Amino acid sequence: MAVSRKIFLTCFVYLCLFYGAAFADQITLKNGDRLTGTVVKSDGKTLLMKTEFAGEVTIQFSAIEQVSTDQELHVGLKDGKTVVGPVTTSDGKLEVATRTGTVEAPKEEVAVIRSGAEQTAYDKSLHPGLLHGWDGGLNVGFALARGNSQTENLGLAFNAVHPTLNDKITMYASSVYAKNDAPGANPKTVASLVQGGIRYDHNLKPRLFAFVGADFMSDALQGLNLRSVGSAGLGFHAIKNERTTLDFLGGGNFTDENYSVTVANPNPPPATISTKLVHNSGGLTLGEELMHTLGASTVLTQKLYFFPDLTDRGQYRGTFDFGTVTKISKWLGWQNQFGDIYVTNPPPGKKQNDVIFTTGLNIAFKPGK
């Protein structure tokens, strides 16, 4: 009786293993190795498979000899067509058993492969709600010196991007503050700059998009209480792939500037008085933006903008930003940011250039995922 029970349990285990293998996806490589598990996704270059004992395994797509799946996969071809069904291979071609018949395609024509769960996540990413799909980070840098010098420096920056299939919302804000606490130091505040903005892009064609945005800036040392800039125009994706994005933008803007300036008092005392200087002008917006991924952990960003003044010819503003973020972990990184802001007509006694460099930690977030 005990022997019969042992034989029964052995047969049951083998039967379970047989059915587990029969209802799993299988990949056979050109060297004869075979993997069993669940196909997750492929970009036509590599294929990700989830196995029971080895976890997630990435396979070179060109090294695959045969594919056999029990699950339905979403197969996107390079001609833009997408077919859904279990996948097998025959004579170097992928065969997708759709509900209306079998579709064949050479492996070289496969652009993407997604499981049902991956396809659902991808479709959701194309049309996320306003509260979902955000990607960005918070930069924090702080320096403190005591002894022969007594200084404090704080740099904060925030950026967030909400991309969908046809549009994108970009938000940013940054602040740099530094002061000198040494006795007799004048001025006490040696840097006080706050800026922020928001922009909306909408794709008109695969490479052409329209944009509208608003930017705001305050610079206490330059006497700038507030600069408000509203811009609108067109942009062109010169390069757009997974690693590199290069955009050129052109349009118009309206700028409102409000400065505080010190002038001689015609009726002293006191000898000087503070007054406001207002600039309102229309101008052009000409810009270039680059984002490039270096290796597996570093992202480089660069922006160059030129704002010619059409109201007062010969006057203009220019901004240049360059930064890198290197990942330390999934959510933590190290950031470096350099910026240069140039104006041709600052208030009397103020410099035309403000150069800023910050470094510190970057805290990445994806609250919608």
Burial of 308 (0-12, 13-18, 19+ CB in 10 A): middle
> Is the model's pLDDT at 31 over the cut of 80?
yes
Task: Note whether 320 and 340 are within 8 A (CB).
Answer: yes
| Domains annotated on the chain, with CATH | 2-126 (no CATH), 135-365 (2.40.160.40)
The pLDDT of residue 272 is 60
The pLDDT of residue 363 is 92
- CA proximity to 291, closest of 159, 193, 202, 194: 159
Between CA 307 and CA 324 the distance in angstroms is 25
The H helix count followed by the E strand count for the chain is 2, 23
Decide: pTM greater than 0.75.
Answer: no
The pLDDT of residue 6 is 54
The pLDDT of residue 204 is 95
Which pair of structure tokens corresponds to residue 263?
Answer: 């002038």
How many Cβ atoms sit within 10 Å of the Cβ of residue 38?
A: 17
Lowest mean pLDDT among 74-88, 147-161, 294-308, 318-332: 147-161
Instruction: Supply the DSSP string of 151-174, one letter for each residue.
Output: EEEEEEEEEEEEE-SSEEEEEEEE
The pLDDT of residue 80 is 84
Mean pLDDT of the 155-173 span: 90
pLDDT digits (tens, 9 = 90+) for 134-146: 888 999 988 777 7
pLDDT digits (tens, 9 = 90+) for 71-110: 999 999 988 899 999 999 877 788 899 988 889 888 888 8
Tell me which amino acid residue 183 is. Answer: P
Q: What percent of the chain has pLDDT over 70?
A: 86
Task: Note whether 77 and 111 are within 8 A (CB).
Answer: yes
> Is the model's pLDDT at 3 over the cut of 50?
no
The pLDDT of residue 333 is 93
The pLDDT of residue 365 is 79
Between CA 72 and CA 85 the distance in angstroms is 4
**Element containing residue 12 per DSSP (H, E):** helix 2-22
Task: Note whether 237 and 204 are within 8 A (CB).
Answer: no
Residue owning tokens 């022969």: 148
Residue owning tokens 């290796």: 295
The pLDDT of residue 234 is 98
Between CA 296 and CA 293 the distance in angstroms is 7
